[in-house]
Each structure stands twice: as C-alpha cells, then as structure tokens.
Structure 1
Amino acid sequence: MKKVFKALTIAGSDSGGGAGIQADLKTFQELGVFGMSALTAVTAQNTLGVQGVYPLSVEAVNEQIDSVATDLKPNAVKTGMLFSSEIIHAVSEKMAMHQLENIVVDPVMIAKGGAPLLQQEAVSALRTHLLPLATVVTPNIPEAEVIADMKIHNLADRETAARKIFALGVKNVVIKGGHGEEEQAVDLLYDGSDFSFFKSKRFETRHTHGTGCTFAAAITAELAAGKEVKEAVRTAKTFIEAAIQDELGIGQGHGPTNHWAYRQKL
C-alpha cells in the first residue's frame, strides 16, 4: 500500500485564499502531503485588508481536532491564527491528549494590513501552553519581539530572542528575516545549541500576503514526510522564495504568493 503522509492545519480561513488554511492546504498539496483542517475562525478579507473576524466556538474547534486525530492521525500539525486564549488552551490540550507530533507553531498576530489576529491576553497562553509543545516556532521579527519581550534591531538581537524563545520549551526556533534590514532576507534557525542561517534574495513586490503561513506550512509538510528540521526549513525557504519571485499579480493590495511556483521550478 502506498505511504501517504498527512498534515493538519489548525487555523483561520482566509476568504481571499492567500493565507490561513487555504494557503496551508495548497502548500501541503504542492509538497505531496495530504492536508486536513480544523477551523478556528472565519475571516472576511481580501488583498486590501481584513473586513471581519468571526471566531468559532471552543467546542467546534475541539470536535474538528478529535474527528481528524481519531481517524486520520496526522504526521505533523501546523497552528496558525488561534485568536483567543481559550482556543489556545483547547488546542494545546487536544494536542497532548492525542499525542500529536511534529507541531509547527506560526504565531499569527497581525495581518499584512495591520488588523490584529491574536487577542492581547492570548500571548501569555501562547507562551505557557502551546510553545512548550512545539517542534518548531516560526515568528517574524515583530512577533519574536512580543514573544521574547524585547526589541530586535539586528541579527545579534535575533539570536538573543531565539535563545529566550527556546527557553520557553520550544525545540527549534526559526525567526524569519523578511522584516530585517539586511541586503538579503536571512532566516535564523536555533536548535538549542547551534544557529543556522538561510539566505535569499529580496524582491520588490507588494504581493507577499500569506508568506508566513506558506513558509510554516512547507516546514510542516516536510516534517510530515519524515524530513529533519534543518532540511525542512531549507525546503521551506526555497518554496517561499519561488512563491514570492513568480508573483501572480492579483488583487489591488497585498496580493497572494504563487503556491505552484516551486513545483514548476523542479
């Protein structure tokens, strides 16, 4: 029988299709992994911004995770927009109960257009309940500043923040470099002992909606397929670089990335 790798995304829906579970499922598919989902919220959004956020009940989130975990046990799990401390608590408990592994936490806090996607009181729950379960956490620089409770001005600060986040119980910390000021976009991976750096060109484009979701989803897919963390991050970096470079050019604002660009380059 053919070996099928499976990945579960626990996140919000993006009606514009560029981020959230839509981006995750597209990425899983492109990397040869069967995708499943548990919705935490429905958003009304497009490339111009977020017009509405409608959280689901904790019961609805719990039942979705139970349904998937008891029948289609995922090889890896990604979390995205969890929105509230109650949902973070519930998701953390379900992950422990079902003994889910290869957990990738994308600590989604703010949309590209500036709309908050994580309530302020949920940050503490993220730190204390979810991050200790994480195999990989993938904050951008502003998110890393919140989690590590410090300002990040340069690469040395990023290393300090990675150590502080690792101390919360995460196995591997990836701080993305898209918001950095270096000539290249430098992503940093810290495994508790060593730093690895993944560099790529910067592209002048406004079509970057969903880059964080897509990057974390690519890591998740690779972990689901049995890859080691460092290899998974390297593939994710290549995947998102292709998705940004080969832009679709749709939408009037922050357009989505091209999820099939990586496959077309192979």
Structure 2
Amino acid sequence: MAKLTLPSRRNLQSAALSLLLLLGLLAIWHVATLPEAGVAAKLTPDQIEYQKLLGKDPGETKAGGFPTLGQMGEAMVRHLSEPFYDNGPNDRGIGIQLGHSLMRVALGFALAALLAVPLGFVIGMSPLIYRALDPFIQLLKPISPLAWMPIALYTIKDSSISGIFVIFICSVWPMLINTAFGVANVRREWLNVARTLEVRPLRKAFEVILPAAAPTILTGMRISMSIAWLVIVAAEMLVGGTGIGYFVWNEWNNLSLPNVIFAILMIGFVGMLLDLMFSRLQKLVTYAE
C-alpha cells in the first residue's frame, strides 16, 4: 500500500479539523436552540405575539426564537428540492434568484473588464498617462458603489440596469489598478529582448507583456468579483424585484428566519465557488520560475 505524502497528510488533517469545527458549531447551535419549557411566562406580550407571527409556539421555544437545526434542514430541503419554481414576483425559487444575481454580476463584471484591462495596459505602459489619470482614479476609487445607485436610478430609470451599473463601478478599480501595476512591472530583460528582436508593439503586448502580467491581472479580477458579489446583495435589497439580495429582504419581511439564514449560506457558497474559479485560472497563468 502506498504511503501518504506529506501534502496529502496535511490535507487530510486540515479536512478533519474543518469537520470537527463544523460539528462543534452545529452542536453549539443545537444546544442553544433546545426547547425550554415554561418560557412563555418569561416573555412579554409583544414577544409572544412576535413568536406567533414567526409560526412558533411561545411555550416550547426559547425567547430569542432562533431556528433549530431541524427547521433549517426543512428549509434547505424545501428550497433545494425545487429551486426553479415561479409562483409570481414575490415567490420564486432560490435558483431563479441566484440566476438573476449572477447574470447582473456577469454583465457588470464583463463591461468593467472591457474597459479596465485595455486602459490598464495603456496606463502601465505610459508613465505620462498614469500621472495624468492617477488623480481621477484616487478620487473615484474610494466612493462606495452604492453611493452611485441614486444617480443610476435617476438617469437610467431601470432598477435592473442600475444594479449592473453599480457592479460595473465597483469592478473597474481593482482590475484597472492591478492591470496597470502588472504591465508596469514586467521584467526589463524581457522587454529588452523584444526590443532587440524588433518585435512589433502589438505582438509584444500579446506575447510578452500579457503573459507576464496575466497573474496580476487575474488577481485584480478575483478581487473585483469578490467585491461585485458583495455589492449585488446590498444593491438588490435597495432596488428589489429579483435576485438573492431581494430574496433575503423579502423573507425577512415575511418573518421567515430559516429562509434568511439559508439564503445567507447560499450567498457564501456561491461566493466561494466564484473565488475558487478565479483561483484556478490564476494558477493556470502563473509560471513557476
């Protein structure tokens, strides 16, 4: 039988530790939400009414009304067993809501890449243009993307397109800055060789500069995607209609805490998959020296 290598052993140990931490958190959750007899006597009339609105029996639950693991399991099974149902504007499956959010993120991110990557190339290759544009970049970069939402709604007058615009704004800056940094820091030796061989500028850009700067560009894209996924949830809470952010807000208005927690977990899971995708791409374009 082949022995486990050191990296494999470490991976198994880290996986076992993660599993133990998960089981510990679930155990704490279970203990914290155990039914407590006679709790109704400790509740105020307003709290009792609130528990009833949540569909809970005030005499068998804790005062906080936090969902149990069983209730969370029921919510997960219900949503995952039929993720694409559509019963009207305020009753759509989690798959449809995630699809709307991912579509907005993809469109805004793609538009940002079409602007940021070529402009980053120009800035990175020209110190003069860098110095000319740097004040504008430093002024606009710290502005919260959500601060643009009122202007977008006023000018565009469409909530869905306004959400795409907000994703575009928040995705531009990490890609632009990282692309310019990567291009500006390509090894001088490689550029000197290209100059010696009289490589044409367009060929030099695609065959020398782009491969050298690709890891840094992908880093900017990875950061942009993480920010975009964070921002779309808040943007959809503001504009409503569809999307995972709207789903969270709508379920909160319906006093359905298990659905809110389930949506939060789905946001984290999808965000992890998006980050993993860009991490894989980054490794593909990174050359070991």
Question: What TM-score results when the alignment is normalised by the length of structure 1?
Answer: 0.25
Which structure has more strand as a fraction of its residues?
1
Question: What TM-score results when the alignment is normalised by the length of structure 2?
Answer: 0.24
Larger Rg belongs to: 2
Which structure has more helix as a fraction of its residues?
2
